Amino acid sequence: MPPDEAATSPIPCQNEISRCRCFMHSMWNFVTAPLHPKSFAITTTCFTVMLLCCVATINWLVNPYSQYSSNLLAPLVRDSRSEKVALFEQQQQPSEGLILGSSRTMKFEPKYLQHRTNLRFFNFGVNHGRPEDFLAIVLLYKNSFGQFPKSVLIGVDVAALSDAVPSDARLNAEPKLYSQVRYDLPWTDEFDRLTQLLSYQQFASSIKSIQNALTSNSLKATSKATEAFDADGVIQYLQRESERLAGSYNFDKAIQYNELEFLTVFRGMTSLSKTRIKYLQKAVAQCEQNGCQVTLFLTVHHPILRETLSNKTAFVRLEQNAKEALQNLADESQSRFVDLSTIDTFGGDPNEFVDGVHPLEPNTRRMIDRLFPQSTKEQYAIQ
Amino acid sequence: MLFNSYIFILLYLPLVLAAWWMLARWPQIRLGFLVASSYVFYGWWHWEFTLLLLASTLVDYYVGIGIDRSGTLTTKRCLLGLSLVSNLGILAYFKYCGFFAESMNGLLEALRFGRLVNVPEILLPVGISFYTFQTLTYSIDLYRGEVKPARSLMHFAAYVSMFPQLIAGPIVRYSDVETQMQELDRTPDWTNISRGIWFFVIGMSQKILVADTVAKVATPLLATPETLQFVSGWAAILAYTIQLYFDFAGYSNMAIGLGLMLGFSFPQNFDSPYQATSIQNFWRRWHMTLSSFLRDYLYIPLGGNRFGKLLSYRNLLLVMLLGGLWHGAGWTFILWGLMHGCLLVLNGLYRDHIRIALPKPLAIALTFLCVMLGWILFRSTDLTMALHWYRSIIGLNGMERDLSISTLVSMGFGTTITATLFCWLVPNTWNYRPRLSLGTAVALSLVFVFCVLRFDAESPFLYFQF
């Protein structure tokens, strides 16, 4: 029945169907009844604020990406920063060296580095590691042990120097790291972290997380780990390894995923971030003033991904700018810069990659060989 | 600052609206606040460019006073000349310098002299084409005696910098807001505020739910224009046609909505242009404030249609060519303008000589097709890309082998065709008066919140580049 008719005709609300109809009609009338413009504006505003608060609260409580302090449900994505901080603190003896960088450096093995340098390293590579992370980590080391490490190896991604993205929200969410750089980061980064409570991606993940929790027995269900870290911080690609053994690992798909991701990254990046270069300078300066040897290198891209990015974005120019910036930084300080941006620079194998950006051990070992030729071992031994 | 950003929606807009309405009793402070907040809005991207905005404002304000006070026509003309030179000079330097240098090098290379001209790398200040046009209209209108000078520098600065329309229009003339600028002690008009909320949410949904969704079809296809074939060529052109309209109309509606929330009425900028029955009709419906600007400040001063058909056609061509150049410094934009000029001339010839009215659906379809063909030039980064694209849609680049439904869906035909039907069948936002009810409030809130959730894939408006 049309609403106008419903409003005028007397409907006997006696039996259940009629009562239901009555209720529906009165609801319809209530919802469609004209509001005064002032009431309309206030209702819309209040309802909007209420909805936004609901979404933000759900995201904060569920915390699917481990960005906030709440931990009601198991996160969908494990947070490498908090895991690495925990592993770092569990070390029986402080490591003498640190490997810093993004997930691309997570396969750099401290044991192999020790073999080349005689120093015990800890792999502190974190997802989307950027200069502000490196600064936070070296300061955490200093504040934990009262001194700086003897050597720091920093793998810099071109994308990590982007002028278009704020610091990773997971840095702000890890209190021990965040407290080291709190006053160095702009307030907009903190604002960005809070606004991510209102992102569609996070909300969809929260819903997925709730679904996961509801379909399992306990509310705090543990998600199946796809990756794990050894005690020295090296990553193990559990899922990838099981898929590889089963013959179902799809390398082409992994590359395609990288292409989509990095095309977006490099299309949004116009130049190197001056702020990020400053963080890097500060991290290097802090290390060197305290007798720590710094080695910088530019991380590698798989040739297929490299070609795509070169053809469709300003990647080549940005990479060249990054090389120049790192070389300048090395020239101005006591640090070394080694270009490892292509597989040719270290004699790498294109088949030894997880995907377009993550090299496997055979490649990282070759990189370490290139970074620390045999003579370096003696040099470190003398130090 | 973008309208579709968290900082604008969660911080800037609530603060500005609250302060604006709280300051109703103090018009002068209110005006100063509007100017300051608009400069913050503009300077958020590059604060240095606020100096350019300030310079343009100062020049035209004092030129305006001079024009109003001067007794002789010669002085008025000189002052108007100063305004034209300063505004067009700014535009020429920031927007066209690189293009002219590059074109000169092309010419010198063709003559085998090599690239002799240094091409400057100049960052284009966002919205420069819009606010220079606005300040220009003020000086010209004063010269013509159509408006009175602004009451104070602050009044004029508020008119030029008002944040809702500063970056991408609508191009507001001083006469449009002159009276509104005088009555600054007004209290909230809830009817206008409610209407403003409606416009703003509709505009935002046009941008985020339609334009950005369709962009996901167009952008990947156009990333490699050399690979376009017949179907993908058409998919790309249709998607871009829809994207551009919803992107720009969305921005205009958001600007109009924000204006209404502040108590200002801005002119309509779009009137369902894809329902146009001729190219002439299209230009009465698309970017209406630019069309009327070109008509009143270029076409009519050139003689309009007062000196016979031939000269009126010449004027049309010239106006559209300059209109094309206004959109961007590039040969593709010039050709796009020229193409529309030719289409307008053909339209005039058909109207004058053949005089057979086409059935309305056919006229709409034909106009839509012509406009789409023009967008190829508009979107192409260079002539090579345009050529590839044109070749693809006439089948010279071959036909896709797999033309299953799933392929067509993956090319985004479903989305774009739905959006096209939407353009043709749904009434314009201006013609639709929503019933102010709880249901509408809840529906608008839901749409708005969904749009806010999509801010994580922040995308600037296409017309910002102009």
Amino acid at B134: Q
User: pLDDT digit string (tens) for B344-365?
Assistant: 999 989 888 887 888 989 999 9
Choose the final residue of a domain: B133, B168, B185: B185
What was the pLDDT predicted at A383? Answer: 38
In a domain, A70, yes or no: no
Answer with the one of B185, B217, B235 that is the final residue of a domain: B185
B374 belongs to a structural domain? yes
B112/chain A closest Cα distance in angstroms: 29
Check pLDDT > 60 for residue A161: yes
Residue A10: pLDDT band (50, 70, 90) is low
Residue B354 lies in a domain: yes
Let me know if residue A338 belongs to a domain: yes
What pTM does this model have?
0.76
User: How far, in Å, CA of B270 to CA of B286, rounded?
Assistant: 5
DSSP secondary structure of A138-157? HHHHHHHHSS--SEEEEEE-
The shortest C-alpha distance from A303 to chain B (Å) reads: 19
Shared domain for B389 and B264, answered yes or no, is yes
Same domain, A22 and A98: no
Judged on CB neighbours under 10 Å (0-12, 13-18, 19+), B255 is: buried
Instruction: Tell me how close the Cα of A31 comes to any Cα of chain B, in angstroms.
Output: 5
Judge if B142 and B237 occupy the same domain: no
Query: Does one domain contain both B409 and B311?
Result: yes
Structure tokens at B218: 């167009």
Contact across the interface for A30 and B191, Cβ inside 8 Å: no
Residues of chain A contacting residue B452, judged by C-beta atoms under 8 Å apart: 52, 198
Cβ of B224 within 8 Å of Cβ of A312? The answer is: yes
B19 in a domain, yes or no?
Answer: no
- Residue B2 in any domain: the answer is no
Q: Are residues A155 and A35 in the same domain?
A: no
Shared-domain flag, residues A233 and A331:
yes
Contact of A29 with chain B, judged by CB distance below 8 Å, is answered with no
Pairing assessment for the beta strands A228-229 and A235-236 based on DSSP bridges = antiparallel
Nearest Cα residue to A76 out of A261, A213, A198, A218: A213
* B111 reaches A (C-beta below 8 A): no
- pLDDT at position A221, please? 45
- Does any domain span residue A68? no
Do B216 and B176 lie in one domain? The reply is: no
Q: How far apart are CA A173 and CA A189, in angstroms?
A: 12
The verdict on A110 and A156 lying in the same domain is yes
Q: Do B159 and B204 belong together in one domain?
A: no
Return the half-sphere exposure (C-beta side, CA atoms, 13 A cut-off) of residue B73: 1
Q: From the CA of A57, how many Å to the nearest CA of chain B?
A: 14
**Residue A40 touches chain B, beta carbons under 8 Å:** yes
pLDDT at position A23, please? 82
- A41 CB within 8 Å of a chain B CB: yes
B180 shares a domain with B220: no
Q: Which of B194, B381, B446, B450 to substitute to test the interface with A, most A CBs within 10 Å?
A: B194
**Cα A148 from Cα A145, distance rounded (Å):** 8
Comparing alpha-carbon positions, the chain B residue that sits nearest to A28 is: B439
- Residue A66, classified by CB atoms within 10 Å of its CB into exposed (0-12), middle (13-18) or buried (19+), is buried
Q: Verify whether the Cβ–Cβ distance B439 to A195 is below 8 Å.
A: no
Amino acid at A156: V
What pLDDT score was predicted for residue A364?
A: 93
Nearest residue in B to A56, CA atom: B453
Judged by a CB distance cut-off of 8 A, whether residue A200 touches chain B is: yes
Say which residue the tokens 């413009």 belong to.
A37
B452 touching chain A per CB within 8 A: yes
Which of A289-293, A341-345, B376-380 comes out lowest in average pLDDT? A289-293
> Does A177 lie in the same domain as A99?
yes
Cα separation, B272 vs B286, whole angstroms: 8
Which residues constitute the domain of residue A277?
80-186+225-382
**Domain of B118, in residue numbers:** 25-185
Same domain, B433 and B357: yes
Cβ pair A200:B456 closer than 8 A: yes
Q: Are residues A172 and A296 in the same domain?
A: yes
What residues form DSSP beta bridges with B86?
A: none
Answer yes or no: is A203 within a domain. Answer: no
> Could you tell me if B92 and B227 lie in one domain?
no
Positive or negative, the CA dihedral A191, A192, A195, A197 is negative
A38 touches chain B (CB under 8 A): yes
Q: What angle do CA B367, B373, B374 make, to 5 degrees?
A: 90
Same structural domain for residues A19 and A119? no
Phi, psi dihedrals of residue B224, rounded to the nearest 5°: -130, 75
In order of A51, B191, B440, B448, the CA distances from B436 in angstroms are 20, 10, 6, 16
Q: What pLDDT, on the 0 to 100 scale, is given for residue B457?
A: 62
CB distance A30–B197 less than 8 Å? no
Is B215 inside a domain boundary? yes
- Contact (Cβ atoms closer than 8 angstroms) between residue B166 and residue B130: yes
Please provide residue B244's backbone torsions phi and psi, each rounded to the nearest 5 degrees: -60, -45
Name the burial class of residue B402, with classes exposed (0-12), middle (13-18) and buried (19+) by CB atoms within 10 angstroms of its CB.
exposed
Q: What is the DSSP letter of B44?
A: T
SS3 content of chain B, % helix, strand, coil (to 5): 75, 0, 25
Nearest to B441 among A43, A188, A192 (CB): A43
Q: Do B190 and A41 touch (CB under 8 A)?
A: yes
Residue B388 annotated to the active site: no
pLDDT tens for each residue of B398-454: 887 776 667 677 667 788 888 889 888 888 888 888 888 899 999 999 999 999 998
Residues A42-75 pLDDT 10s: 999 999 999 999 999 999 888 887 777 777 776 6
Each residue's pLDDT tens digit in chain B (466 positions)?
Answer: 888 888 899 999 999 999 999 998 888 899 999 999 999 999 987 888 899 999 999 999 999 999 988 888 889 999 999 999 999 898 888 888 888 888 888 888 888 787 777 777 777 788 888 888 889 999 999 999 888 898 899 999 999 999 998 887 788 888 888 888 888 778 888 999 999 999 999 999 999 988 888 888 888 788 778 888 888 889 889 999 999 999 989 999 999 999 999 999 999 999 999 999 999 999 999 999 999 999 999 999 998 888 888 899 999 999 999 999 888 888 999 999 999 999 999 998 988 888 788 898 999 999 999 999 999 999 998 899 999 999 999 988 888 777 666 767 766 778 888 888 988 888 888 888 888 889 999 999 999 999 999 887 656 555 555 5
For residues A174 and A35, membership in a common domain is answered with no
Residues A340 and A295 in one domain: yes
A24 touching B, CB under 8 A? no
Query: In whole angstroms, what is the distance from residue B69 CA to residue B46 CA?
Result: 36
Contacts of A199 in chain B (CB under 8 A): 453, 455-456
Which of B6, B440, B454 comes nearest A195 by C-beta? B6
In chain B, residues with a C-beta closer than 8 Å to the C-beta of A196 are 456
B439, closest residue in chain A (CA to CA): A31
What are the tokens at A170?
């997971």
| pLDDT bracket for residue A375 (50, 70, 90) | low
Q: Count how many domains chain B has.
A: 2
Whether A191 is in a domain gets the answer: no
Residues A31 and A99 in one domain: no
Q: From the candidates B46, B155, B287, B327, give the one annotated as an active-site residue.
A: B327
CA A180 to chain centre: 18
Chains A and B form CB pairs within 8 A to the count of 87
Nearest Cα residue to A351 out of A253, A251, A256: A251
Of all residues in chain A, the one with the smallest CA distance to B225 is A312
Nearest CB to B452: which of A36, A43, A52?
A52
Cα distance between residue B444 and residue A48, in whole Å: 8
Interface of B with A in 212-241 (CB under 8 A): 223-224
Q: Is B10 among the domain residues?
A: no
- Closest-CA distance of chain A to residue B10, Å: 9
Contacts of B45 in chain A (CB under 8 A): none
Confidence check: pLDDT of A366 > 90: yes
> For residue B218, is it within any domain?
yes
Over range A157-180, report the average pLDDT.
79
Based on the domain organization, do A116 and A254 belong to the same domain? yes
In this structure, is residue A13 part of a structural domain?
Answer: yes
Number of independent structural domains in chain A: 2
Query: What's the token pair of residue B160?
Result: 């030029």
Cis amide bond preceding B149, omega within 30:
no
Q: What are phi and psi of B151, to 5 degrees?
A: -65, -35
Among the ranges given (A178-182, A320-324, B194-198), the one the predictor scored with the smallest mean pLDDT: A178-182
Residues B263 and B150 occupy one common structural domain: no
> Does any domain span residue A71?
no
The rounded distance, in Å, linking the Cα atoms of A155 and B290 is 51
The two structure tokens encoding residue B363: 């006229």
Q: Is B443 on the interface with A (CB under 8 A)?
A: no
Same domain? For B351 and B403 the reply is yes
**Whether residue A96 sits in one domain with residue A12:** no
Positive or negative torsion for Cα A229, A231, A234, A237: negative
Q: Is A51 on the interface with B (CB under 8 A)?
A: yes
Q: Kindly report the average pLDDT of chain A as a whole number.
A: 84
Q: Are residues B438 and B290 in the same domain?
A: yes
For residue A358 the two structure tokens come to 């993550």
Q: Is A37 on the interface with B (CB under 8 A)?
A: yes
Q: Which of B185, B202, B223 is the endpoint of a domain?
A: B185
Mutate to test the interface with A, among B17, B193, B216, B450 (most CBs of A within 10 A): B193
User: Is A102 contained in some domain?
Assistant: yes
Please give the ipTM for the structure prediction.
0.82
CATH code, A324: 3.40.50.1110
B302 SS3 class: coil
Same domain, yes or no, for B215 and B94? no
The answer, for B445 touching chain A at a CB cutoff of 8 Å, is: yes
Residues of A in contact with B204 (CB under 8 A): none
